[in-house]
A and B are shown apart, each in its own frame.
Chain A
């Protein structure tokens, strides 16, 4: 029988994993929408407005999913982890409060105008609303990453009677891992959306939708993907070096390096780490590469897991297999992203028979087929990355300050288990519905006539039509 601690951990992991899927989309999709809107205003080309109208639906859906799954998070601290706020509430509290005050209201209010206000407000106000929603989601990312990073690399506080008290807010906000984590996450969001747009557009293209807006979205998606992925690989590398400095036990687990401290540490490509024997089974490794990547010298020493076992045998490093594999899934997905996006861009750069470049037609069908499953590759990489860093923080909740087991609520295990099962069932159903609706919107969009004007049916006409329908009359022509 599992105990309250592990069940509460799984429950929090389930909630936050489900939640992060949607902000990962909305953070960058907001900026993509602003891009589409501005392109439309500058060029007057309706394909950009068409792209905006399609993707704003996906945005609205993702935003709603993000909001409601986020409300759950604000309750979880109290229901399952009261020790967290009791110990570090003086630090976490103001950061969360600033997130709610500066970001949540901004996005929640302006999304109404952004979605439903197009014909009610002047164009500039609608564009401003789109900007403020994108800005709000990004600001919210900033605050939550500040708090999360502080939990990994805490500073700027002192402990008085078992509770952390802030001494230097500047040091708390700009804690050592914050800039790396923030950059890494924002780029992850950008890549997730770039591949979502490219993948859905490839899907529409393969189903015979030849609209200009599909071409334009596809080019934008692939272009940003190809641009962002090298930046992300660089950001990941510097973030890893930062982790090496501040949380060496996490890096040791990522590399599954049990005992090697003499330099020339091999890069383990495949292994089944064995926690009991404290060694890897079925290991396939490249000599010296881990040392080279992490220290940029072939003979550089990297931390080993055995260094993080206390005298009495207490293990002070995270579970190795989970961190090791999450990290490999993230890196593997990133490599696939690099391959697919660069191949696509190179193939598109070939000159078409009519002399133009950047034609979707130049992309071979197998590549288009490969792009479709890549639509959700960003989710895989983002989740795997978060698992690496969060499981990698175990057994700490706040590195060196608070361990997970002393923060958990004393709720009976069956209660945690039953609510956990409830959440899982709901999340599975909603995830299925979400992906189905995106597929359905993509299929349905094919039958929409290309957009040629901005004048919608007037509100009065709509009300009239509804009123007539209400009285059982045929809609007026």
Chain B
């Protein structure tokens, strides 16, 4: 079962690392916008507006979060040693991530099903859960970039990452609301996007600067001639997208809702580029500087079994996910069971 002349124990871990990367990226984008909307909910001017914000993510959040389960699942099944090493190091942030995800997930339901006088409480928990989950993710990203070392500097950097990711998610959440919202909500979402975009810029900038400084290996990967030339589209495209974002935000909302899709699409592009950069920096390590994907991989015969299934199942997942986005296309409407 050689592929392009490579043995299965060489190409399978690579394929699985890519699959895991795609899952993480999809998770960050998809749950990113719905966590972001959660973070923005306290800014709603009225209960109806908050309901509309929640309604814009209501039919999607559950499937969005499933990408996290797949990503963690792939880490678990394809790179079990790395799963243990990373998660037992990040024990506490993982705990807070889970706490946050639990709180916000159940608040979706409780806020509309519990007695009306408790709705505010569940709204606050929804916000708190969204914030806690996002902050923990940023914190973990920061520690991962720092090679999973714990000291004053790395913890400080992790906090910077946590704050940036919070702003980043709020930003992509705001662009989602520009796409799905109308009138006042849409106008306010444009203002939120303008305020939050700086967090994203600082975050991407900080990580881009820190990664090569932490590891000489990553420094060489980026700044050697001529690879430097091949990689230059990443920062250049990012800057172009930022410029496009800035311009489109200045002109939104436009007549007839034109260009409402632009900020979300551009934000999506920025996340993809940032992720590609991060992936390039760390490849082939799954635990930074300690464990490569080949050292951490499961047995080839088990990976093959999963891959065969994935070839059939993943296209259908993408298909019915597209169906759901098609069914709930257009502007968000109140969530109702009838």
Contacts and interface: CB of A to CB of B under 8 A. Distances in A.
Contact of A85 (B51, B83, B110, B184): B83
B240 interface: no
A284 to B, nearest CB: 44
Interface in A18-69: 53, 56-57, 60-61, 63-65, 67-69
A401 interface: no
Contact of A166 (B62, B302, B336): B302
Interface residues of A, number: 78
Kindly name the residue among B77, B114, B334 whose own CB sees the greatest number of chain A CB atoms within 10 A: B77
Kindly name the residue among A74, A82, A119, A469 whose own CB sees the greatest number of chain B CB atoms within 10 A: A74
A97 B73 contact: yes
Given A74-B73, A85-B76, A105 B59 contact: no
A85 B322 CA distance: 34
B94 interface: yes
A406 interface: no
A61 B101 CA distance: 15
Nearest to A111: B62
B317 A105 contact: yes
Interface stretch (B142-150, B194-202, B222-230, B303-311): B303-311
Interface stretch (B63-71, B242-250, B274-282): B63-71
A97 B77 contact: yes
Contacts of B302: 89-91, 93-94, 165-166
B337 A57 contact: yes
Contact of B110 (A96, A166, A433): A433
B91 to A, nearest CB: 5
A101 B317 contact: yes
B321 interface: yes
Contacts of B15: none
A60 B109 contact: yes
Contacts of B336: 116, 118-119, 456, 462
Contact of B60 (A104, A112, A117, A459): A112
Interface string B214-254: 00000000000000000000000000000000000000000
Interface string B170-203: 0000000000001110000000000000000000
B334 A77 contact: no
A441 B112 CA distance: 11
A64 B108 contact: yes
A121 B331 CA distance: 16
Interface of A, secondary structure class, is helix
B156 interface: no
A462 B305 CA distance: 49
Kindly name the residue among A53, A121, A410, A470 whose own CB sees the greatest number of chain B CB atoms within 10 A: A470
A169 B304 CA distance: 12
A174 interface: no
A61 B306 contact: no
B337 A118 contact: yes
B9 interface: no
A177 to B, nearest CB: 22
Interface string A91-118: 1111011101110111011111101111
A10 interface: no
Contacts of B103: 426
Nearest to B62: A108
Contact of B334 (A70, A91, A112, A459): A459
Contacts of A97: 73-74, 77, 306, 309-310
Interface of B: 45-46, 48-49, 51-52, 58-60, 62-63, 65-66, 68-70, 72-78, 80-81, 83-88, 91-92, 94-95, 98-99, 101-103, 105-106, 108-110, 113-115, 182-184, 298-299, 301-302, 305-306, 309-310, 313-314, 317, 320-321, 323-324, 327-328, 331, 333-338
9 contacts: A74-B72, A74-B76, A75-B87, A78-B84, A82-B84, A94-B77, A96-B73, A112-B327, A166-B299
Given A101-B70, A165-B302, A426-B102, 7 more contacts: A64-B105, A64-B108, A79-B91, A85-B84, A108-B65, A437-B114, A470-B45
| Top 4 A-B residue pairs of the complex, sorted by shortest distance between their CB atoms | A82-B84, A93-B77, A78-B87, A112-B59
